[in-house]
Amino acid sequence: MPTNILMPALSPTMTEGNLAKWHKQEGDSVEPGDILAEIETDKATMEVEAVDEGTLGKILIPDGTESVKVNDIIGVIIADGEDATVIEVSAATTKTTPTPSDAPGSVAESKAIQPELPQAKPVVELDYTGATEHMTVREALRNAMAEEMRADDRVFLMGEEVAEYQGAYKVSQGLLDEFGDKRVIDTPITEHGFTGVGIGAAFLGLRPIVEFMTFNFAMQAMDQLINSAAKTNYMSGGQMGCPIVFRGPNGAAARVGAQHSQCFASWYAHIPGLKVVSPWSAADSKGLLKSAIRDPNPIIFLENELLYGGTFDVPTDPDWVVPIGKAKVVREGSDVTITAFSIMVGKALEAADVLAAEGIEAEVIDLRTIRPLDSETIVNSVQKTNRLVSVEEGWPFSGVGAEISATIMEKAFDWLDAPVHRVTAEDVPLPYAANLEALALPQAENIVSAAKVHQLP
């Protein structure tokens, strides 16, 4: 029985990678543990090992192929005595043995909840007519930091694995080489302490970028973030501004369980003295991160691991920035307004496509900044559509949607033809099981359902 070799995932969120090199050729015999091939992504490389003994009967994806989807069959191992001609049949079947992977959770399961990576959309700010470049969110964030570090010596990056490891999620790739270890600093695993260190450096006039490997770990540093970063300017009568950016992935990744999966947008948005930014597209990621680094206030910059590999057109002009506090209409429509931020913008656009097929035109607003909230853009849209659905990955209680709902009650009550609906995560810690995880997180169909409630026939 031939065994298919599948394109493995190097991480829970990887969707595709490059097949760098085959170490075995067709006809070579293989033993379990033999290295068959080398796989690479923009984050890492790994070797694919054989799990069965036999002969490499067929190579289906040759050396140097880029963008091979996870779980695609890259080759076939046949048992001794089998003929390579059985391979065509084998490759057509889907019953396969997954190739070992260093990722937690099997490839097949995590695929079930892989989001569609966002495709390029016309998201460049309307007033920009210059050159753009197609790039990932990851590259956009890195470029934003590099450009600002070139422009201002006071800007530096610190965090766990940001320097020599090149970033746990490779967002800081290459920065150590360009700026050296004075400005790209690996910290010990000590969130509370290095958050305080960053804040102290900001008080003395530097412009720190502090990376949290994920925002889950920033809870260790909550006292410094709230009591020191956010409040000191007020408590000092305006003497002690804290120009600092805290950035890193926020929200659920894929199959990493409850402690590593939650959205902190409403937590930080509750705090006077903080600005909270959470972009979706690569262009906004770059433009907003540059604005955040230049801003004289503490900024919570919430990224999303699942979006890092998504590609968009991004302006190349280093002076191009996106203002903090401005939402963006990413799809125009007349029947219902859908607000979303970060990864949920993609889900909202997906839902809008489904709704459009049913004759309902949704207007999708990417909030981009959570605090200060651009209520004007939301109100303007609601005055046109008379209906509002708020989408977020966080929990419902005291969430961003609760705030938006109250704001619209106060500012646009007479324009509403239906109650505001909230689409949120279920009110439970995020479960590990693939099916339960998918049930707990907001999906496009939940948005479609919410948008259809109270729609006139």
Partner 1 sequence: MATKRKPAASKASKTKKPAAKSRKVSGNGAGKSQSSPDELLSMYRDMLLIRRFEERAGQLYGMGLIGGFCHLYIGQEAVVVGMQASITEADALITSYRDHGHMLACGMDPKGVMAELTGRSGGYSRGKGGSMHMFSTEKNFFGGHGIVGAQVSIGTGLAFAQRYKDDGTITLAYFGDGASNQGQVHESFNMAALWNLPVIYVIENNRYGMGTSVERSSAAEDLSQLGAGRGIFGVQVDGMDVEAVKEAGEMAASKCRSGDGPVILEMMTYRYRGHSMSDPANYRSKEEVAQVREEQDPITNLQSRLIKQKLITEDDLKKIDKEIREIVSEAVEFAQTSPEPDPSELYTDVLVDA
Could you give the CA distance from residue 158 to residue 182 in angstroms, rounded to a whole number? 10
For residues 194 and 395, which CB has a smaller minimum distance to partner 1 in the complex? 194
**SS3 state of residue 283:** helix
Candidates 197, 258, 354, 379: give the one binding partner 1 (CB under 8 A).
197
Could you give the CA distance from residue 172 to residue 174 in angstroms, rounded to a whole number? 6
Candidates 27, 180, 296, 419: give the one binding partner 1 (CB under 8 A).
296
Is residue 308 a contact residue for partner 1 (CB under 8 A)?
Answer: no
Is residue 326 a contact residue for partner 1 (CB under 8 A)?
Answer: no
Is residue 228 a contact residue for partner 1 (CB under 8 A)?
Answer: yes
The secondary structure element, H or E, covering residue 350 is helix 343-357
Specify the stretch interacting with partner 1 by CB under 8 A; choose among 66-74, 169-177, 236-244, 442-450: 236-244
- Cα end-to-end distance, the chain, whole Å: 56
Alpha carbon distances (Å) from 184 to 146, 214, 297: 11, 18, 21
Task: Tell me the torsion sign for CA atoms 162, 164, 168, 169.
Answer: positive
147: Cα separation from own chain's centroid: 21
260 carries an active-site annotation? yes
Q: Which of 49, 139, 191, 211 is catalytic?
A: 191
Is residue 341 a contact residue for partner 1 (CB under 8 A)?
Answer: no
**SS3 state of residue 246:** strand
Is residue 297 a contact residue for partner 1 (CB under 8 A)?
Answer: yes
Q: Which of 47, 260, 426, 454 is catalytic?
A: 260
Shortest CB 202 distance to partner 1, Å:
8
Specify the stretch interacting with partner 1 by CB under 8 A; choose among 101-109, 129-137, 235-243, 344-352: 235-243
Is residue 192 a contact residue for partner 1 (CB under 8 A)?
Answer: yes
CB-CB neighbours of 381 under 10 Å = 26
Candidates 6, 73, 168, 201: give the one binding partner 1 (CB under 8 A).
201
Alpha carbon distances (Å) from 102 to 75, 294, 312: 19, 39, 29
Q: Enumerate helices (H) and strands (E) in the chain, giving the number of each.
A: 14, 22
Is residue 33 a contact residue for partner 1 (CB under 8 A)?
Answer: no
Picking from 164, 141, 188, the residue whose alpha carbon sits closest to that of residue 312 is 141
For residues 43 and 371, which CB has a smaller minimum distance to partner 1 in the complex? 371
Total site size for partner 1, rule CB under 8 A: 43
Shortest CB 273 distance to partner 1, Å:
6
Shortest CB 136 distance to partner 1, Å:
28
For residue 55, what are the β-bridge partners? 29, 78
Shortest CB 183 distance to partner 1, Å:
8
Is residue 202 a contact residue for partner 1 (CB under 8 A)?
Answer: yes
- Binding marks (x or -) toward partner 1, 131..160, rule CB under 8 A? -------------------------x----
Could you give the CA distance from residue 243 to residue 161 in angstroms, rounded to a whole number? 23
Instruction: Look at the block and give the residue holding tokens 């419902």.
Output: 396
Shortest CB 198 distance to partner 1, Å:
6
Could you give the CA distance from residue 362 to residue 356 in angstroms, rounded to a whole number? 7
CA angle 297–303–304, rounded 5-degree value: 165
Q: Which two tokens stand for residue 169?
A: 């999620």
> Is there a contact between 373 and 404 (Cβ–Cβ < 8 Å)?
yes
For residues 269 and 349, which CB has a smaller minimum distance to partner 1 in the complex? 269
Candidates 233, 278, 342, 377: give the one binding partner 1 (CB under 8 A).
233
Specify the stretch interacting with partner 1 by CB under 8 A; choose among 16-24, 101-109, 180-188, 439-447: 180-188
Rg of the chain's alpha carbons, rounded to an integer? 24
Site for partner 1 in 247-286 (CB under 8 A): 272-273, 275
Instruction: Provide the residue count of the chain.
Output: 457
Candidates 80, 126, 164, 182: give the one binding partner 1 (CB under 8 A).
182
Which residues, in sequence order, are CB contacts of 413 under 8 Å at separation 6+?
none
Is residue 324 a contact residue for partner 1 (CB under 8 A)?
Answer: yes
Candidates 241, 257, 429, 431: give the one binding partner 1 (CB under 8 A).
241
* Residues of this chain that bind partner 1 (CB under 8 A): 156, 182, 187-188, 190, 192-206, 223-224, 227-228, 232-241, 243, 272-273, 275, 294-297, 324
What are the catalytic residues?
A: 191, 260
